Protein backbone atom coordinates (compact mmCIF):
# COMPACT_ATOMS: atom_id res chain seq x y z
CA UNK A 1 0.00 0.00 0.00
CA UNK A 2 1.38 3.40 -0.94
CA UNK A 3 1.12 6.30 1.47
CA UNK A 4 -1.53 8.93 0.78
CA UNK A 5 -0.62 11.77 3.11
CA UNK A 6 -2.36 14.79 4.57
CA UNK A 7 0.19 17.32 5.83
CA UNK A 8 -0.68 19.75 8.64
CA UNK A 9 1.69 22.59 9.50
CA UNK A 10 1.86 26.35 9.72
CA UNK A 11 5.12 28.20 10.63
CA UNK A 12 8.52 28.25 8.95
CA UNK A 13 9.50 25.27 11.12
CA UNK A 14 6.98 23.13 9.20
CA UNK A 15 8.22 23.93 5.71
CA UNK A 16 11.35 21.69 5.54
CA UNK A 17 9.27 18.60 6.34
CA UNK A 18 6.71 19.37 3.63
CA UNK A 19 9.49 20.20 1.18
CA UNK A 20 11.37 16.98 1.98
CA UNK A 21 8.23 14.88 1.53
CA UNK A 22 7.57 16.49 -1.85
CA UNK A 23 11.17 16.06 -3.03
CA UNK A 24 11.09 12.41 -2.00
CA UNK A 25 7.99 11.86 -4.18
CA UNK A 26 5.52 11.13 -1.38
CA UNK A 27 1.89 11.63 -2.37
CA UNK A 28 0.63 14.72 -0.52
CA UNK A 29 -3.13 14.63 -1.06
CA UNK A 30 -3.87 17.83 0.84
CA UNK A 31 -2.08 20.36 3.04
CA UNK A 32 -3.78 21.97 6.04
CA UNK A 33 -2.46 25.20 7.52
CA UNK A 34 -3.72 27.99 9.76
CA UNK A 35 -5.63 30.91 8.19
CA UNK A 36 -3.75 34.13 7.31
CA UNK A 37 -3.25 36.62 10.13
CA UNK A 38 -3.44 40.40 10.08
CA UNK A 39 -0.18 42.18 10.81
CA UNK A 40 0.10 44.25 13.97
CA UNK A 41 0.88 47.41 12.03
CA UNK A 42 -1.80 48.21 9.46
CA UNK A 43 -4.15 45.60 8.09
CA UNK A 44 -1.84 43.57 5.85
CA UNK A 45 -2.90 39.93 5.57
CA UNK A 46 -0.03 37.49 6.14
CA UNK A 47 -0.45 33.91 4.87
CA UNK A 48 1.43 31.27 6.83
CA UNK A 49 4.83 30.12 5.51
CA UNK A 50 3.25 26.76 4.65
CA UNK A 51 0.50 28.45 2.64
CA UNK A 52 3.12 30.51 0.80
CA UNK A 53 5.07 27.34 0.02
CA UNK A 54 1.93 25.65 -1.31
CA UNK A 55 1.08 28.59 -3.56
CA UNK A 56 4.62 28.76 -4.93
CA UNK A 57 4.73 25.02 -5.61
CA UNK A 58 1.09 24.63 -6.74
CA UNK A 59 0.14 22.25 -3.92
CA UNK A 60 -3.50 21.86 -2.91
CA UNK A 61 -4.13 23.30 0.56
CA UNK A 62 -6.87 24.32 2.99
CA UNK A 63 -6.77 26.80 5.88
CA UNK A 64 -9.95 26.22 7.91
CA UNK A 65 -10.59 28.28 11.02
CA UNK A 66 -11.44 25.09 12.87
CA UNK A 67 -11.50 21.34 12.30
CA UNK A 68 -14.44 20.99 14.69
CA UNK A 69 -17.31 20.98 12.23
CA UNK A 70 -19.19 18.15 10.53
CA UNK A 71 -18.50 19.66 7.12
CA UNK A 72 -14.75 19.89 7.74
CA UNK A 73 -14.59 16.36 9.14
CA UNK A 74 -16.45 14.91 6.16
CA UNK A 75 -14.16 16.81 3.79
CA UNK A 76 -11.13 15.30 5.53
CA UNK A 77 -12.62 11.80 5.56
CA UNK A 78 -13.34 12.01 1.83
CA UNK A 79 -9.64 12.51 1.10
CA UNK A 80 -9.13 8.80 1.81
CA UNK A 81 -5.68 9.33 3.25
CA UNK A 82 -3.89 6.63 5.23
CA UNK A 83 -1.32 8.82 7.02
CA UNK A 84 -1.30 12.35 8.42
CA UNK A 85 1.93 14.22 9.15
CA UNK A 86 1.68 17.06 11.67
CA UNK A 87 4.42 19.65 12.23
CA UNK A 88 3.49 22.63 14.43
CA UNK A 89 0.00 22.90 12.95
CA UNK A 90 -1.39 25.06 15.75
CA UNK A 91 -4.70 23.28 16.32
CA UNK A 92 -5.58 20.26 18.44
CA UNK A 93 -6.56 17.35 16.20
CA UNK A 94 -10.10 16.23 17.16
CA UNK A 95 -10.53 12.65 18.34
CA UNK A 96 -12.81 11.63 15.46
CA UNK A 97 -10.01 12.47 13.01
CA UNK A 98 -7.53 10.31 14.90
CA UNK A 99 -9.78 7.26 14.54
CA UNK A 100 -10.13 7.18 10.75
CA UNK A 101 -6.51 7.24 9.49
CA UNK A 102 -4.97 3.77 9.06
CA UNK A 103 -1.38 4.65 10.02
CA UNK A 104 -2.38 7.47 12.34
CA UNK A 105 -1.24 11.06 12.79
CA UNK A 106 2.55 11.24 13.00
CA UNK A 107 3.99 14.31 14.70
CA UNK A 108 7.46 15.82 14.37
CA UNK A 109 8.05 17.34 17.81
CA UNK A 110 11.08 19.48 18.69
CA UNK A 111 12.05 17.89 21.99
CA UNK A 112 13.22 14.62 23.54
CA UNK A 113 9.83 13.42 24.74
CA UNK A 114 8.49 13.15 27.38
CA UNK A 115 10.52 16.26 28.16
CA UNK A 116 9.02 19.54 26.96
CA UNK A 117 5.61 18.57 25.71
CA UNK A 118 3.70 21.56 24.40
CA UNK A 119 3.97 24.73 22.35
CA UNK A 120 7.49 26.08 22.97
CA UNK A 121 9.91 23.15 23.45
CA UNK A 122 13.04 24.71 21.92
CA UNK A 123 12.57 28.02 23.72
CA UNK A 124 11.98 26.33 27.08
CA UNK A 125 14.97 24.02 26.65
CA UNK A 126 17.29 26.99 25.99
CA UNK A 127 15.82 29.11 28.78
CA UNK A 128 16.18 26.19 31.18
CA UNK A 129 19.88 25.83 30.25
CA UNK A 130 19.40 22.23 29.13
CA UNK A 131 22.54 20.45 27.96
CA UNK A 132 20.76 18.52 25.21
CA UNK A 133 17.92 19.10 22.78
CA UNK A 134 16.38 16.91 20.12
CA UNK A 135 13.57 15.77 17.87
CA UNK A 136 10.93 13.08 18.41
CA UNK A 137 8.80 11.30 15.81
CA UNK A 138 5.66 10.23 17.64
CA UNK A 139 2.05 9.22 17.14
CA UNK A 140 -0.61 11.72 18.19
CA UNK A 141 -3.09 10.65 20.86
CA UNK A 142 -5.79 12.62 22.65
CA UNK A 143 -3.59 14.09 25.38
CA UNK A 144 -1.00 16.71 24.45
CA UNK A 145 2.22 15.18 23.02
CA UNK A 146 1.61 12.03 25.06
CA UNK A 147 1.57 9.41 22.29
CA UNK A 148 4.12 6.65 21.74
CA UNK A 149 7.48 7.58 20.21
CA UNK A 150 8.91 5.91 17.11
CA UNK A 151 12.40 7.45 17.19
CA UNK A 152 14.39 10.38 18.53
CA UNK A 153 17.58 12.23 17.65
CA UNK A 154 19.65 14.10 20.23
CA UNK A 155 21.97 17.13 19.92
CA UNK A 156 24.25 19.07 22.24
CA UNK A 157 22.73 22.47 23.07
CA UNK A 158 25.16 25.31 22.38
CA UNK A 159 24.66 28.21 24.84
CA UNK A 160 25.71 30.66 22.11
CA UNK A 161 23.00 29.49 19.69
CA UNK A 162 19.65 31.31 19.58
CA UNK A 163 16.18 29.82 19.29
CA UNK A 164 16.20 30.87 15.64
CA UNK A 165 19.50 29.07 14.98
CA UNK A 166 18.40 25.86 16.66
CA UNK A 167 14.90 25.87 15.15
CA UNK A 168 16.36 25.94 11.62
CA UNK A 169 18.66 23.00 12.40
CA UNK A 170 15.97 20.97 14.17
CA UNK A 171 13.41 21.55 11.39
CA UNK A 172 15.76 20.06 8.78
CA UNK A 173 16.88 17.19 11.01
CA UNK A 174 13.26 16.41 11.87
CA UNK A 175 12.24 16.32 8.22
CA UNK A 176 15.03 13.87 7.38
CA UNK A 177 14.33 11.70 10.41
CA UNK A 178 10.65 11.43 9.46
CA UNK A 179 11.38 10.40 5.87
CA UNK A 180 13.89 7.79 7.07
CA UNK A 181 11.12 6.14 9.11
CA UNK A 182 8.12 6.36 6.76
CA UNK A 183 8.96 3.05 5.05
CA UNK A 184 8.71 1.17 8.35
CA UNK A 185 5.36 2.85 9.03
CA UNK A 186 4.07 1.92 5.57
CA UNK A 187 5.25 -1.68 5.99
CA UNK A 188 3.56 -1.96 9.37
CA UNK A 189 6.95 -2.59 10.99
CA UNK A 190 7.23 0.63 13.00
CA UNK A 191 8.00 0.01 16.67
CA UNK A 192 6.42 2.75 18.80
CA UNK A 193 7.42 2.94 22.48
CA UNK A 194 5.13 4.38 25.15
CA UNK A 195 6.42 7.44 26.97
CA UNK A 196 7.15 7.44 30.69
CA UNK A 197 4.45 9.94 31.64
CA UNK A 198 5.91 10.38 35.13
CA UNK A 199 8.92 12.11 33.51
CA UNK A 200 6.87 14.58 31.47
CA UNK A 201 7.61 18.31 31.57
CA UNK A 202 5.63 20.99 29.77
CA UNK A 203 6.75 23.80 27.49
CA UNK A 204 4.00 26.36 27.85
CA UNK A 205 3.61 29.09 25.25
CA UNK A 206 5.84 32.13 25.84
CA UNK A 207 3.99 34.91 27.66
CA UNK A 208 4.89 38.53 26.85
CA UNK A 209 5.17 39.21 30.58
CA UNK A 210 8.24 36.96 30.83
CA UNK A 211 10.22 38.64 28.04
CA UNK A 212 11.72 41.51 30.10
CA UNK A 213 15.35 40.96 31.11
CA UNK A 214 16.12 40.88 34.85
CA UNK A 215 19.74 41.83 35.36
CA UNK A 216 19.96 40.69 38.99
CA UNK A 217 20.15 37.03 37.99
CA UNK A 218 23.29 35.14 36.96
CA UNK A 219 24.76 36.02 33.54
CA UNK A 220 24.28 32.44 32.28
CA UNK A 221 20.56 32.68 33.01
CA UNK A 222 20.36 36.10 31.37
CA UNK A 223 22.07 34.70 28.27
CA UNK A 224 19.72 31.70 28.19
CA UNK A 225 16.74 34.05 28.47
CA UNK A 226 18.01 36.23 25.61
CA UNK A 227 18.86 33.36 23.27
CA UNK A 228 15.72 31.40 24.09
CA UNK A 229 13.56 34.33 22.99
CA UNK A 230 15.59 35.37 19.92
CA UNK A 231 14.52 36.44 17.38
CA UNK A 232 10.88 36.40 18.46
CA UNK A 233 9.31 37.61 20.68
CA UNK A 234 12.69 38.90 21.89
CA UNK A 235 14.06 39.64 25.37
CA UNK A 236 14.20 43.36 26.05
CA UNK A 237 15.40 46.21 28.28
CA UNK A 238 14.47 49.88 28.53
CA UNK A 239 16.75 52.90 28.25
CA UNK A 240 15.60 56.51 28.24
CA UNK A 241 11.99 55.43 27.79
CA UNK A 242 12.70 53.30 24.72
CA UNK A 243 12.55 49.53 24.46
CA UNK A 244 15.39 47.50 22.91
CA UNK A 245 15.48 43.78 22.09
CA UNK A 246 18.73 41.88 22.54
CA UNK A 247 19.03 39.20 19.86
CA UNK A 248 22.48 37.80 20.56
CA UNK A 249 25.01 38.13 23.40
CA UNK A 250 27.93 36.36 25.09
CA UNK A 251 29.16 35.81 28.63
CA UNK A 252 31.86 38.04 30.12
CA UNK A 253 33.66 37.31 33.40
CA UNK A 254 33.79 40.99 34.43
CA UNK A 255 31.61 41.82 37.42
CA UNK A 256 29.62 44.99 37.97
CA UNK A 257 26.34 46.24 39.37
CA UNK A 258 23.32 44.56 37.74
CA UNK A 259 21.91 46.67 34.90
CA UNK A 260 24.95 48.97 34.71
CA UNK A 261 26.82 49.43 31.42
CA UNK A 262 30.42 48.42 32.20
CA UNK A 263 32.25 49.64 29.09
CA UNK A 264 31.77 51.30 25.70
CA UNK A 265 30.89 47.96 24.02
CA UNK A 266 27.57 47.36 25.80
CA UNK A 267 28.77 44.92 28.41
CA UNK A 268 26.05 44.79 31.08
CA UNK A 269 26.49 43.75 34.70
CA UNK A 270 24.39 40.84 35.97
CA UNK A 271 23.87 39.21 39.36
CA UNK A 272 27.21 37.52 38.77
CA UNK A 273 29.52 38.10 35.81
CA UNK A 274 28.15 40.05 32.83
CA UNK A 275 26.98 39.76 29.25
CA UNK A 276 28.16 41.65 26.20
CA UNK A 277 25.46 42.50 23.67
CA UNK A 278 26.34 41.43 20.11
CA UNK A 279 23.09 42.11 18.23
CA UNK A 280 20.08 44.20 19.17
CA UNK A 281 17.04 45.90 17.71
CA UNK A 282 15.32 49.21 18.40
CA UNK A 283 11.53 49.34 18.23
CA UNK A 284 10.38 49.51 14.61
CA UNK A 285 13.92 49.12 13.27
CA UNK A 286 15.98 46.31 11.72
CA UNK A 287 18.44 44.31 13.81
CA UNK A 288 21.96 45.73 14.14
CA UNK A 289 25.33 44.66 15.47
CA UNK A 290 26.39 46.52 18.59
CA UNK A 291 28.97 48.46 16.58
CA UNK A 292 26.32 49.59 14.06
CA UNK A 293 23.87 50.42 16.83
CA UNK A 294 26.31 52.60 18.80
CA UNK A 295 26.91 54.79 15.75
CA UNK A 296 23.34 56.03 16.05
CA UNK A 297 22.42 55.57 19.72
CA UNK A 298 24.89 56.19 22.51
CA UNK A 299 24.60 54.10 25.66
CA UNK A 300 27.72 55.07 27.54
CA UNK A 301 29.70 53.37 30.28
CA UNK A 302 28.02 53.97 33.63
CA UNK A 303 24.50 54.17 32.15
CA UNK A 304 21.76 52.16 33.82
CA UNK A 305 19.38 50.07 31.75
CA UNK A 306 16.21 48.57 33.19
- Are 198 and 213 part of one and the same domain? no
- Domain co-membership, 72 together with 141: yes
Cβ count near 151 (within 10 Å): 17
Quick one: pLDDT at residue 60? 97
* Within a domain: 147: yes
pLDDT per residue as tens, the chain (306 positions): 589 999 999 999 999 999 999 999 999 999 999 999 887 665 688 999 999 999 999 999 999 999 999 999 999 999 999 999 999 999 999 999 999 999 999 999 999 999 999 999 999 999 999 999 999 999 999 999 999 999 999 999 999 999 999 999 999 999 999 999 999 999 889 999 999 999 999 999 999 999 999 999 999 999 999 999 999 999 999 999 999 999 999 999 999 999 999 999 999 999 999 999 999 999 989 999 999 999 999 999 999 999
Instruction: Say which CATH number the domain at 147 has.
Output: 3.40.50.170
Q: How far from 67 is each of 19, 92, 165, 302, CA to CA, in Å?
A: 24, 9, 32, 56
Domain, as residue range, for 218: 208-296
Write down which residue in 182, 203, 224 finishes a domain: 203
Same-domain check for residues 199 and 213: no
Output the pTM of the full model.
Answer: 0.94
Same domain, 141 and 270: no
Q: Say which CATH number the domain at 279 has.
A: 3.10.25.10
Q: Is 302 a domain residue?
A: no
Regarding whether 137 and 268 lie in a shared domain, the answer is: no
Residues 144 and 270 in one domain: no
Q: Are residues 212 and 186 in the same domain?
A: no
pLDDT at 40: 66
Say if CB 20 and CB 61 are below 8 A apart.
Answer: no
Is residue 301 a part of any domain in this protein?
no
User: Do residues 190 and 49 both lie within one domain?
Assistant: yes
Instruction: Show the CA angle centred on residue 294, arms to residues 292 and 299, nearest 5°.
Output: 155
Give the count of domains, the chain: 2
Secondary structure string (H, E, C) spanning the chain: CCCEEEEEECCHHHHHHHHHHHHCCCEEEEEECCCCEECCCCCCEECCHHHHHHHHHCCCEECCCCCCCHHHHHHHHCCCCCEEEEECCCCCCCHHHHCCCCCCEEEEECCCCCCCEECCHHHHHHHCCCCEEEEEEEECCCCCCCCCEEEEEEEECCCCCCHHHHHHHHHHHHHHHHHHHHHHHHCCCCCCECCCHHHCCEECCCCHHHCECCCCCCHHHHHHHHHHCCCCCCEEEEECCEEEEEEEEEEECCCCCCCEECCCCCEEECCCCEEEEEEEEECCCCCEEHHHHHHHCCCCCCCECC
The answer to whether residue 304 sits within a structural domain is no
**Is 273 a member of any domain?**
yes
Q: Are residues 260 and 199 in the same domain?
A: no
Amino acid sequence: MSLNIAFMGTPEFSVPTLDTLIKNKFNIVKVYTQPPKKSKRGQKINPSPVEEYCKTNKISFKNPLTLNSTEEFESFRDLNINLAVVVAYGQIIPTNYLKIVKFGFINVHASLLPRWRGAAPIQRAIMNEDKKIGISIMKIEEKLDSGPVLTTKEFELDQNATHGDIEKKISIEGANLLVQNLKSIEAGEANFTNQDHSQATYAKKIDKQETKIHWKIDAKKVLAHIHGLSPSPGAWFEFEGERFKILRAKIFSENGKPGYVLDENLTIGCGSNSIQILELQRQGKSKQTTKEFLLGKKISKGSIII
